[in-house]
Structure 1
């Protein structure tokens, strides 16, 4: 993976984000919520050489199980969220990952469930 941060003493020149994403950008319908879960597709465990180092890193992160978009972005902290979402959208389009909405999307917890959670927290932490 390429580290785009500067070492002390280096000139302030930097790599533009459109170079990192190879000119790709998010399409209007490809907005991935931070809570959506990302997983690799079974049978596509090999990493083709045409993927960027960042895309390979994202695939390696997701091979251990589902990670949310926010977690993937956290593990690639040298890249802005918009770039991570662009890479995820590209990997989704090429069939390397699947996106699953979180169970919390659009579903409100019942008052009883919230009460049980609160009681458990109070019992544990006082």
Structure 2
């Protein structure tokens, strides 16, 4: 997954899958915040870099979905990730801060729910 490659340099490959997804969500939020700040500062290069990294993370999250085992929930997440990706593309094309804020809030809501999953329900590699 493209979004996961960012973590290989910090040793996250040893993190549990649950923790890795938390890290992806956290980094995504940082990247969107960076894109918003860059647009405000009129730094289009920084905006492009931050948005590109946010898009890669969303792509990685989508690639990680198991549509066969995940059923309707995985399908709903796939639709959400595709919508978020579309909003990120609009945001970068039009320097639309509101589209970035929407894309940030949608993933923040998923991250918040993810963070509340009790440890006994975390999935593990194996």
What is the TM-score normalised by the length of structure 2? 0.27
Higher strand share: 1
Q: Which has the larger Rg? A: 1
Higher helix share: 2
